[in-house]
Structure 1
Amino acid sequence: MEIKKQFFLNGLNELRAIAALSVTYHHIEMHNGLNSIYKKYNYITYFTGNLGKNGVFLFFVLSGFLITYLLLKEKETNGTVLLKKFFFRRAYRIWPLYYLIFIISVIVIPLLAINFDIFKEDSLSYNQILNTHNYGIKSVVFYLFLMPNVALYSGYFITGCSQAWSVGVEEQFYIIWPFFILLFNKRRILQIFFSVLVLFPVFIFLAKNDYVLYPFSVIIKSIPFHFMAIGSIGGYFFFYKKHIIERYTKSKTSYFFLLCLILIFLFYPIFINEIQDVSLSFLFLILILFSINDENPWVFKNQCFSYLGKISFGIYMYHTLVMFLVFPFVNKYVVNFQAGIYYNILLYPLIFIITILFSSLSYKYFESKFIKIKDSKFKVL
C-alpha cells in the first residue's frame, strides 16, 4: 500500500481523530441535555448541539475524497476497478467491528440493564432499553443488513449502536460509487458527482416536507450522499489537478484563514441548516487538501492525534457503549453535582479514557487481524 504510506496517512489521521472525538463530546453533552453551564452562551450551545453531525460530515467528506481518489488511481494503474477486491476490502475493515457492536448492543447491554439495578440510574438509556419497539424484528433486520441509518430514521433507537447510522450511509455509498468510476469516462464521472451534490439535498428537502411517500421518504432522508459527493469532487480534482492544488495549499496564511472560517461556521449559524451544512463540508474538503500537503509547515500534525485517528473507527463505535457503562455510576455517586463542573470533571475523563482504551485494545487484538487479511489478499495498489 505504497500510496497510503506516502500520502493518506499524512494529516488525515489527525482529522479522523478530531471527527471521532467531536462526535463523542456531542453525544455526552446531548445525554446531559446540553449541560446547563453552557446554556447562557448561545454560540457554545450551537457549537455543542451541532458538533456531532459536523464530525460525521467530516467523516463523510473524507470517505468520498479517499475512495474516489483510490478508485481513480486503481483504474489508471490496472485499467479497471476490481470490484470483488474493493468490496472485500470494505467488508474486512467495517463488518467485524460493526457486527460486534451490534451483538453487544442487542444482547449484552439489555441483559446488563435488566439484571443490575445500577443501570436504572441512567433513566434515558434504561427507558430506551425497556422500550421493546426498539428491539423488534424490523429494527434487527435493518441492522443485520447494514441499514442502521434507515432504522434510526424509522424511529428505532438501540442503545450502544444507534451511532452506526453513519456507517450504514458509508456502506451504501461504497456499493454504488465504484460502478460510477468503472463504467463512465472522466467527464461523465464529474457530471455524476455534481448531479448527486445538487439533487440529493433537493430530494431530502422534499422528503422532510412530506412531498415523498413513505417508505421512500425515510430512505431518502437517511442517505445524505451529497456530503460524499463533495469529498469525491475533491478527490477527482486532486487526482487530475494535483500540481495546481498543491501550489495553492502551501500558503500558511490561507491555512490560518481557513481554520478561522471553519471555527466561525462551527460556532455561528450563518445560513439556514442545509446551506450551512453544505458550506461547512466544502470547507472541510479544503481543509483535507491543505492537510495532505506536506509542504505546508502549519498543517496540524501530532503523533497522539495520528494514533487516535488510526483507531478512530473504534472510538466512534465504542463510545456509546462506554457511555452506557459510565453514566449510571457517575449519576449515582456524584448526583449532587449533576449539573455542575465537578460532575463533568469526572464524567469526561472516564468516558474518553475508557473509550480510547477499548478502541486501542480492539484495534490491536481484533480489528488488526481482519486488516491484515484485507491488505494481504485484496490490496490493488
Structure 2
Amino acid sequence: MEKINLGSFEMEVKKSFFFNGLNELRAIAALAVIYHHIELHNDFNPIKSHFAFLDYFTGNVGKNGVFLFFVLSGFLITYLLLQEKEKCKTIFLKKFFLRRMYRIWPLYYLIFAISVLLIPYLAVNFDIFKEDLSSYYRITDTHNYGIKGILFYLFFMPNIALYSGYFITGCTQAWSVGIEEQFYILWPVLILYFNKNRILQVFFTVLFLFPILIFLAKNNYIFYPLSVIIKSISFHFMAIGSIGGYLFFTKKKLIEKYTYSKWGYFLIIAMIAAFLFNPFFFSVIQEIVISFLFLLLILFTINDKNQWIFRNRLFFYLGKISYGIYMYHTFVMFLVFPFVNKYFSNFQGGIYYNILLYPLIFGITIVLSSLSYHYFELKFIKIKDTKFKTL
C-alpha cells in the first residue's frame, strides 16, 4: 500500500511540475535556428533578395531562438531548484548534476564523434561533398581540427572554441549547449547558498554585470584569454528567465491572474514579432528587451486557464525532441547541400531550389531526431528520471 501511495504521490508531483505549452515554444525555437542556418549557408536565396524586409529577421532569428532556449532554461531550473530547496531544505547537487549529464552528455558526445570522425571521413573520401565548397574548405582546414579545438569541444567548452575560431562542422551549434552546461554548474550552487530574499538580487546582478563585461571584452578592455571566456558566456539571458522563475515561485497566484488575458497574450506576441523584424535599439539592448518579452510569453504560456494559448500536438512532439533537432540539423545540412547542389544545380538561384532544400533538411532532421530520442536518448532519460529524481 505504501508503495502505491508513494507512486501516486510521485505521479502527482511530476504532473504539478510539468508546464504545458513549453514544448511548443521549444519546437518554434529549434525550427527558427534551422531556418537561420539554412539561410546563412544558402548562397542562392531568392527569398532574401526579393523581400528585403526579411533580411533582419533572417539574420537574427536563429540567435533569438537560442535566447528563448536560454530564458526557458533559466526559468525552469530556477523554479525547480527553489521548489527542491523549500521541500527538501537543501539542493542535492550530485543528483542535479547527474540528471543534467544523463540528459545532455550522451547526444552531445555522439554529435561530437560524428563531427570529428564521420564528417571529415565522408568529406575527404567522397567527391560529392566538394559540391558544397564552404563546408568542404572548413572541414579540410587543419586549424579547426587541431588539438586545442578538439579539447575545447571534448571538455564541454564549444562556446569558447567558437569564439576562439575553431569551427568543427556538425558541432558548432553546440556553443549554446556549452553555455547551458556552464550555467548548470553555477546556478544550483547560488540558489543553495543564498537565501530566498537575496537570490533575486543575485539574478539582477548577473543581468546587469554580464552585458557590461561582454561589452568590455568585445572592445578589448579585457585581456586575452579572459576576454574570450567572457564573450562566450551569456548568463544574463538565463538570469532573465531566473527572475521569472523566482517571481512565479513566490507570486504564482498574482502572475496567473495577470496572464489570463487573451489580449495581453496577443500583445506580447505582436511585440515579439515587431522586435524580430525590426532593430529598435542597439543590439545588446534589443536582445535584453526581446528576452524579457520571451519571459512574458513563457508566463502566459504556462497559464492553463488562458484558453487562447497555443497548444498543438505536432509542435508538442517536436518540442519533446527539440534537443535532437537542434543538435542533428547541421549534420543533415552537411549531407543535403552537396546532394542538392550536384543533382539539382539548374534550380540554383530560383525558388524551386529552396522548395527542394527546406523539406529535405527539415524532414530528415525531424526523422533522425525522433529515432534518436526513442532509441538512444530515452534510455538515458529513464535512468535520469528513476535514479536521480529529488521531487
TM-score where L is the length of structure 1: 0.98
Rounded Cα–Cα distance in structure 1 between residues aligned with 2:43 and 2:66 = 20
Aligned to 1:331: 341
Q: Which ranges in structure 1 are unaligned for 5 or more consecutive residues?
A: none
1:331-378 per-position Cα deviation (integer Å, ceiling 9, x unaligned): 111112212210001000000010000000000000000000000000
The answer on 1:80 being equivalent to 2:94 is no
Give secondary structure in 2 for the equivalent of 1:38: helix
2:62 to 52, 66, 72: 52
The answer on 1:195 being equivalent to 2:197 is no
Summarize the alignment of residues 166-181 of structure 1 with structure 2, pairs less than 5 Å apart.
166-181=176-191
Rounded Cα–Cα distance in structure 1 between residues aligned with 2:14 and 2:281 = 37
Aligned to 2:158: 148
Aligned to 2:33: 23
Rounded Cα–Cα distance in structure 2 between residues aligned with 1:16 and 1:9 = 12
Aligned to 1:5: 15
Q: Which amino acid aligns with 2:385?
A: D
Aligned to 1:69: 79
1:271-330 per-position Cα deviation (integer Å, ceiling 9, x unaligned): 111100000000000000000000111100000000000000000000000000000000
1:5-30 per-position Cα deviation (integer Å, ceiling 9, x unaligned): 33434000000000000001100000
Contact 2:131/2:338 (<8 A) preserved? yes
Give secondary structure in 2 for the equivalent of 1:269: coil
Give secondary structure in 2 for the equivalent of 1:331: helix
1:93 to 96, 103, 122: 103
Moved more, 316-325 or 5-14: 5-14
Q: Which ranges in structure 2 are unaligned for 5 or more consecutive residues?
A: 1-9
Rounded Cα–Cα distance in structure 2 between residues aligned with 1:121 and 1:3 = 53
The answer on 1:261 being equivalent to 2:271 is yes
Aligned to 2:369: 359
Q: Which amino acid aligns with 1:151?
A: A
2:195 to 185, 191, 194: 185
Rounded Cα–Cα distance in structure 1 between residues aligned with 2:44 and 2:197 = 47
Q: Which amino acid aligns with 1:60?
A: F
Rounded Cα–Cα distance in structure 1 between residues aligned with 2:40 and 2:15 = 37
Give secondary structure in 2 for the equivalent of 1:39: helix
Aligned to 2:5: none
Summarize the alignment of residues 167-316 of structure 1 with structure 2, pairs less than 5 Å apart.
167-316=177-326
Contact 2:46/2:351 (<8 A) preserved? no
The answer on 1:106 being equivalent to 2:122 is no
Q: Which amino acid aligns with 2:248?
A: F
Rounded Cα–Cα distance in structure 1 between residues aligned with 2:13 and 2:293 = 25
Inter-CA distance 272–3: structure 2 relative to 1 (3 Å threshold): farther
1:105-150 per-position Cα deviation (integer Å, ceiling 9, x unaligned): 0000000000000000011110000000000000111011100000
Q: CA deviation at 1:66?
A: 0.3
Aligned length: 381
Contact 2:44/2:348 (<8 A) preserved? no
